[in-house]
Structure 1
């Protein structure tokens, strides 16, 4: 029997008893878990969600990929991603929830934070193993943010924005090997633009040549570029996004599989089932039954 739909939480429902905090929530992990013991798992958010583990074990699933929980890990999740955690014993660390528009009043470039690879929306890229030095720096930032929330001083929201940007930059530095060359900046920009286009058009456009035209490159170049940057072709990037959306839609027990096939622009249910079984390893029905 299919399970219930995955709920979506907005930031206002997880405010830790501080109703004035509509754009950002900062908390210690045990307190966050205690305050929201009724959160359903798995679930998704309409905001950015960060979790730093300083102790504990278990597993954390993001968009149906499972990762082992261990100290020194920092998880970044973007709005819409499905996730759930399954802990073994007690865990400690920190949690930040931040609205998608939190930085809009502060940054001239609305796409600035998308430059950080851990905010790409790709599950594996959102899991960062911090070095001992980076962990100390990040922990210090979390503690400063907690103090800022507790004291409620003038300009505290701006200070929280500054601390959050420092967090992103320090994590970005810790994961970036060597100096950033101009060609690396170009490659990162092209990759980010390709992924953004896929996110916007994957329902209708399934061929690399469609995206290559919008990026003003050849299909061969785009495929070679993706192979170099990601270890997969442009076609696989598009296919993986379609497959992820199929999995997200299959969570909804009230939507039949034929309707999902139609929504994803497949010619018929049979073609969708063949596609899903080929790349997910199970049929849509089997996947739906095994969702936990």
Structure 2
């Protein structure tokens, strides 16, 4: 096992003031007050936080005071969240969901429990027998605990008001039409509201504009196709309604900072790729 495929480290928050992005999944554990910036969308945080990011998301953690940030990083070659989805359903909940906040506020008990698992992982000798299996087991425990907390957080919210129903309708429409339709007016017309009203409601709920959400949905699908299939970039571009692979590559790099070629090289092709042929 390559050591870069799985690691836990503690850094000062100063390290994350500049944009951080690489080919791994990350779980950040920290406590304080400040802002999290994910792909240029800002979120305020206050308290004990666990934050999740996927390969080549752009991350910044900004705080007026220096805080310690524990970071668990793993490459999909070490642990594929799609392959293990039956064991821990974290894909689309903790990672890769453009409609949910990318972090969870934790109480002290859960925060300390996750921190303890981070500590246990640090103590494992990677050269010992079964170390990889033990690491995967600890990782699954952390993901399961966080998925439970995220589900609890979602169930505690009031999801029956009219605004929520309208926003849920927008989400469903994006999922249905994002490949063919990328304009705000298209979705506003279907919802029988003005583009300005829709923008205000979406911004209030998701901290981002409808156009950002549509763009992020296209990028999320692009990453899925690049990582989980063996399709050529020309095939992917065609399926996602781009005029050609060069425009697709330009669009992808604009929103991720890396080319599709670089993303596939560094993130790799998943072991489940043959399931998507």
* TM-score normalised to structure 2 length: 0.53
Gaps of 5+ in 1: 1-18, 181-190, 208-218, 221-229, 248-261, 265-292
Gaps of 5+ in 2: 156-168, 184-189, 192-200, 220-245, 249-277
Aligned partners of 1:74 and 1:151: how far apart in 2?
25
Structure-1 residue corresponding to 2:3: 21
Cα RMSD of the aligned pairs, angstroms, is 4.7
Q: Which one scores higher on RCO, CA 8 angstroms, separation ≥ 6?
A: 2
Deviation at 1:73, TM superposition (A): 0.4
Structure-2 residue corresponding to 1:101: 77
Q: Identify if the C-alpha distance between structure 1 residues 202 and 127 changes in structure 2 by more than 3 Å, giving closer, same or farther.
A: same
What is the correspondence of 1:66-85 to structure 2 with a 5 Å cutoff?
Answer: 66-85=42-61
Alignment equivalent of 2:115, drawn from 139, 152, 157: 139
Q: Identify if the C-alpha distance between structure 1 residues 122 and 132 changes in structure 2 by more than 3 Å, giving closer, same or farther.
A: same
Cα-to-partner distance string for 1:4-51 (whole Å, 9 max, x where unaligned) = xxxxxxxxxxxxxxx941311211224x97xxx6x8822422221221
Cα-to-partner distance string for 1:221-271 (whole Å, 9 max, x where unaligned) = xxxxxxxxx989xxx998443344899xxxxxxxxxxxxxx947xxxxxxx
Aligned partners of 1:111 and 1:204: how far apart in 2?
34
Deviation at 1:108, TM superposition (A): 5.7
Give secondary structure in 2 for the equivalent of 1:120: coil
Aligned partners of 2:72 and 2:215: how far apart in 1?
29
Aligned partners of 1:125 and 1:101: how far apart in 2?
26
Give secondary structure in 1 for the equivalent of 2:55: coil
Contact 1:116 1:172 in 2 (8 A): no
Structure-2 residue corresponding to 1:45: 22
Q: Does 2:138 correspond to 1:163?
A: yes
Contact 2:8 2:122 in 1 (8 A): yes
Contact 1:78 1:119 in 2 (8 A): yes
* TM-score normalised to structure 1 length: 0.50
